[in-house]
Structure 1
Amino acid sequence: MAESVEQLLAELIRFDTTNFAVGEARGEAAAAEFVTDHLTAAGLAPRSYEREPGRTNVVARVPGSDPTLDPLLVHAHLDVVPADPELWSVSPFAGEIADGYVWGRGAVDMKDMCAMLLAVLRRWALDGRRPRRDIVLAFVADEETGGHYGAAWLAEEHPELFDGCAAAISESGGYSYHATSASGEPVRLYPVGTAERGTSSLRLTATGRAGHASRRNDDNAVRTLVDALSRLAAHDWPVRLFSATQAFLERAGAALGVEVDLSDVDGTLARLGPAAKIVESTVRSSTTPTVLSAGNRVNVIPSVAHAHVDGRTLPGSEDEFLSTVDSLLGPKITREFLHRSPAVHAPIDSPWFDAMADALRANDSEAIVVPYCLGGGTDAKAFSRLGIQCYGFAPLRLPVGFDYRAMAHGVDERVPVDGLRFGVEVLDHFLSRV
């Protein structure tokens, strides 16, 4: 079996676990078997759960030394989004280790976390160590298309697996972000995810009068839809600060020596410089048109036109969001939900967040740990329904100039080997002591 974290990740990448669409994926079972073998070798008793054959989820429990403590859930997904090999400089599923990086689809989203967990568990087994509290491990399928065969299904059909879990950690947090203070000094921020925007994916339908395109038609469904989409896309959504975004602005601003004015968030973002990218998409709700469909002949005005809109909402803002959307659409457009899940958030002032910060600072004395809100979504939404406080914490230390956010779903996805090794140390510290 692979011994180093980079070798573990390379082997995981070699399982092509592409998730193409709802109900259409491959390779998850093989990757789950790999995980199962390593969990078993670490002395655990993993079990597999499938909604459908091949869509395999692996769950195991690491017994802690203090049974009075609430268990912690650690969840990570094994599926990945498609990769076009024609666009890559390496084969997306070769799992190459070169130039100080592990290359391949899933390197940062999120097989790196899977590999780091397996490396920690192997270390514990060799050293005869165990954590203070029970750790529930869930390696799941289907995160990339909503968790219908993974986390969402497990939370609904097998909630007993997570009984007692008070908190959870998973992807999209705990990585280093290089910034510069107002005085020109380098600062390493480590954003930890304490919230996620909600999802309101919409299908819009416009109806009108069909006819020949050469004749005047004031009831053209395509024009009605396009006008409505233009209003949605141009709408200036108001700033709505909540705990995660306000705390990020205040703490990052203090670390960078930047004036923070909560009554002028756009001005504050401008003063934060590159660090603003962490928060700029999550101080507002958003509506982004993504799919259009109408008609099949250039000379025929169709009677129906459709569009998909990616909608994202902040905690407590969904009612306002939908009311605004309806006013912008107008009376000739109907909407329905393609997917709907509320925003989630966990406490910042909590022992869980403090323990994550302690683990980061123990391995990087200059770490400035700040909370933030994820602009997208993860399986945290499924597990939050069970009353579990979910955090984004998959630690990495990244080199200056490395565009971590461009890696997920991007071309030439890769992760630094040194960053992985750092992550193993941070996770070992956190999971052992929390």
Structure 2
Amino acid sequence: MAGEGDGPGTEDPSVTLFREYLRLKTVHPEPDYDAAIRFLERMAEELGLPMKKVEGHWKYDPFAAVKDADGNIYGRGSQDMKCVTIQYIEAIRRLKAAGKRFPRTIHLTFVPDEEVGGHKGMETFVKLPEFHKLNIGFALDEGLANPTNAYTVFYGERNPWWITVRCPGSPGHGSRFVENTAAEKLQRVINSFLEFREKEKHRLNTSECFTLGDVTTVNMTMVKGGVAYNVVPAEMDVSFDLRIPPTVNLQEFEEKIKAWCKVAGEDVTYDFAQKHMDQNFTCTEESDPWWHAFSSTCKAMNMTVKKEIFPAATDSRFIREEGLPAIGFSPMNLTPILLHDHNEYLNEQVFLRGIQVYERLVPALASVPPLSGEE
């Protein structure tokens, strides 16, 4: 190729700079944005220009950890989950400094990939010998903030189903009334899913007893198909994100999906990108030693606890699939739920109070006497 051997000494500096920037791998799914930022920071310095990194619609740089006059600490991860990481560490630091020892071993695990399904993280880890050697009796995992004075505790969670429905049809020219098209089938599929969505939304809005974790949410997230304006496509696909409570019969629910596809038309099929079938609960009866240790400690600290099914998905589901009890809990009351949102923040007093909560909870859980069947 012409110019292939040109280097910094023989080509225009602007071309050299352009080629340097092209070498940065900023494509998804693993873009190296850090390298791109370092490059742009260097350019700003060379040009004597100010540079400010901003994630859209944030009051402050989301990685500057700004603390405002009210003590609110802004940053990506302030609620999900860098807060709990440091609260765990500081609680353990204080317990060790006080010379505390307990009948049970306390393990801190920091596992990647939870946000993208956990397949290379906790789902893999729980199958490894290293996990089983830990001899786990009980697990604490992440929860959510609560805008009220109460603390939300999650004892189960909905199963995520990521499904793509494929609608084949007759292709043809865009100027004709082509029969049996993929779009017609797609429309019927979408109507079936979204009609069910409205019914579940109505159930949630008309029952004071229900929280989001008690109903099935349905959201259409992707539509694919077509190559040109004037070509009727031979196939169109639509994808949905379903979150199904553990109280739903999953086999019957899948039969409902099959029926929707059959009604939509001939040869409509579906496949799953993710299909979790775990319907395990963690017991929250006072007769359960783990729950009693947890709840009695909260009561002793005058904490109001609200039990719910987690509306999304966490690594707890993989732990429960192994037959182990797990509670999702983040000690963040009086805090709006802002995980994954702009201006995510946590007040410093709520954060510090959380350390005190773990400083009491961890010893209580680590002091539960040996249970039947434990080694």
TM-score bracket for the superposition, by shorter chain length: 0.7 to 0.9
Q: 1:231 aligns with which of 192, 209, 216?
A: 192
Partner of 1:104: 75
Output aligned runs, 1:332-347, within 5 Å. Answer: 332=266, 333-342=268-277, 343-347=279-283
Whether the aligned pair in 2 keeps the contact of 1:132 and 1:432 (CA below 8 Å) is: no
- Normalising by the residue count of structure 2, what TM-score does the alignment of the two structures yield? 0.76
Q: Which runs of 5+ in 2 are unaligned?
A: 1-26, 35-52, 366-375
**Does structure 1 residue 403 correspond to structure 2 residue 336?**
yes
Q: Which amino acid in 2 is paired with 1:218?
A: E
Residues matched between the structures, number: 311
Aligned counterpart, 1:130: 101
Q: How does 1:12-411 map to 2 (within 5 A)?
A: 85-99=55-69, 100-158=71-129, 160-161=131-132, 163-173=134-144, 175-178=145-148, 188-235=149-196, 267-269=206-208, 279-315=210-246, 316-330=248-262, 331-332=265-266, 333-342=268-277, 343-349=279-285, 350-363=288-301, 365=302, 367-398=303-334, 402-404=335-337, 407-411=338-342
Secondary structure at 1:105's aligned position in 2?
coil
Q: Deviations over 1:238-288 (max 9, x none)?
A: 78xxxxxxxxxxxxxxxxxxxxxxxx986541xxxxxx6xx4323222322
The change in CA–CA distance for 1:223 and 1:420 in structure 2 (over 3 A counts) is same
Taking the aligned partners of 1:161 and 1:26, their CA distance within structure 2 comes to 37
What residue in structure 1 maps to residue 13 of structure 2? Answer: none
Percent sequence identity is: 22
How many Å separate the matches in 2 of 1:287 and 1:268? 18
- The equivalent residue for 1:250 is none
TM-score (norm 1): 0.66
Counterpart residue number, 2:9: none
Deviation, 1:205, is 0.6
Counterparts of 2:91 and 2:317, CA distance in 1:
26
Q: Tell me the CA shift for residue 309 of structure 1.
A: 0.7
Relative to structure 1, the CA distance from residue 267 to residue 394 in structure 2 (aligned partners, 3 Å threshold; closer, same or farther) is: same
1:116-141 Cα shifts (integer Å, max 9, x gaps): 01111221232222344211211111
Counterpart amino acid of residue 341 in structure 1: H
C-alpha displacement of 1:415: 0.8
**Residue of structure 1 equivalent to 2:364:** 433
Q: Relative to structure 1, is the Cα distance of residues 132 and 428 closer, same or farther in structure 2, using a 3 angstrom cutoff?
A: farther
Residues 237, 284 of structure 1: 8 Å contact kept: no
Q: Which moved more, 1:337-346 or 1:155-164?
A: 155-164
Distance 1:86 1:314, change over 3 A: closer
3-state SS of paired residue (2:115): helix
The answer (yes or no) to whether the contact 1:237–1:285 under 8 Å persists in 2 is: no
How far the C-alpha of 1:97 sits from its partner, in A, is 2.3
Higher RCO (CA < 8 A, seq sep 6+)? 2
Highest CA radius of gyration, 1 or 2? 2
For 1:280 and 1:208, the matched residues in 2 are separated by 40
Deviation string, structure 1 residues 4-27 (Cα, Å, up to 9, x no partner): xxxxxxxxxxxxxxxx97767889
Runs (5+) with no aligned partner, structure 1: 1-19, 28-82, 179-187, 240-263, 270-275
**1: CA distance, partners of 2:138 / 2:110:** 16
Deviation at 1:195, TM superposition (A): 0.8
Distance 1:143 1:26, change over 3 A: farther
Q: Return the offset for 1:177.
A: 4.3
Deviation of the 1:358 alpha carbon:
2.6
Give distance in 2, aligned partners of 1:381 and 1:25. 30
Counterparts of 2:54 and 2:68, CA distance in 1: 20
1:117–1:427 CA contact under 8 A, matched in 2: yes
TM-aligned CA deviation for residue 232 of structure 1: 0.7
The aligned amino acid for 1:145 is V
Q: Is the 8 A contact 1:397 1:422 kept in 2?
A: no
**CA pair 201-25 structure 1, distance change in 2 beyond 3 A:** farther
Higher strand fraction (1 or 2): 1
Are the aligned partners of 1:202 and 1:338 in contact in 2 as well (CA < 8 Å)?
A: yes
RMSD: 2.6
CA distance in 1, matches of 2:135, 2:101: 19
Mean Cα displacement is larger for which, 377-386 or 279-288?
A: 279-288
Contact kept in structure 2, 1:21 and 1:145, CA below 8 Å: no
Cα distance in 2, alignment partners of residues 341 and 23 from structure 1:
25
Amino acid at match of 1:121: I
String of CA shifts for 1:40-84, please: whole Å, max 9, x gaps.
xxxxxxxxxxxxxxxxxxxxxxxxxxxxxxxxxxxxxxxxxxx97
CA distance in 2, matches of 1:237, 1:410: 25
AA paired with 1:197? R
Equivalent in the alignment of 2:352: 421
Q: Provide Cα deviations, 1:147-192, integer angstroms capped at 9, x if missing partner.
A: 122111211234545542122111115x5442xxxxxxxxx33221
Is the 8 Å Cα contact of residues 170 and 393 (structure 1) preserved in structure 2? yes
Cα distance change, pair 22–373 in 1 and its aligned pair in 2 (3 A): farther
Aligned-partner SS, 1:98:
coil
Contact 1:285 1:311 in 2 (8 A): yes
1:2-17 superposed matches below 5 A: none
Partners of 2:28 and 2:97 in 1: how far apart? 40
Deviation at 1:353, TM superposition (A): 2.3
Shift in CA distance, 143/314, structure 1 to aligned 2, threshold 3 Å: same
